[in-house]
Amino acid sequence: ITAPLAAGLVTASVFRSKEGVVSERFSKFAAILVFAIGWVITMVGSAPIKIIKFAQIANGILLPIVAITLFILSRNKSLLGELANTKGQNLLGIILVLFTLILGLMGLSKALS
């Protein structure tokens, strides 16, 4: 049940208008769509282990990519001005990127074994 709620929240935060709001109906639609897809997969009898493995592989690949992208963007002074990372924040960012790389590789190795 958390996946549909998360989908609604992500939709609300990603697809905001210039006024900073998103249609509540659109956010609810995303939540209902995720719930419906999960329900259909369950009713069809698809093997949940295969779906979980696919999700784990996707997360293992995407987590480091997202972490690296955020790290690069957070260092960009032309984009963020004075809000760009300091040297200490960059050091912490490097540590976190390495941590996500390790987590991603561990997730991939578990899913593929």
pLDDT of residue 18: 55
Query: Looking at the whole model, is its pTM more than 0.75?
Result: no
Distance CA 81, CA 83 (A): 5
pLDDT reported for residue 34: 81
Q: What's the pLDDT score for residue 1?
A: 58
Listed in sequence order, the DSSP H helices in the chain are: 2-14, 24-44, 48-74, 77-80, 87-112
Cβ contacts of 96 within 8 Å, gap of 6 or more: 67, 71
Question: Shortest CA distance to 61 belongs to which of 111, 98, 104, 100?
Answer: 104
Length of the chain, in residues: 113
Q: What is the pLDDT along the chain (113 residues), one digit of tens a residue?
A: 567 777 777 776 666 655 556 667 777 787 888 888 878 877 887 677 777 788 778 878 888 888 898 899 899 888 888 989 999 999 999 999 999 889 888 878 887 77
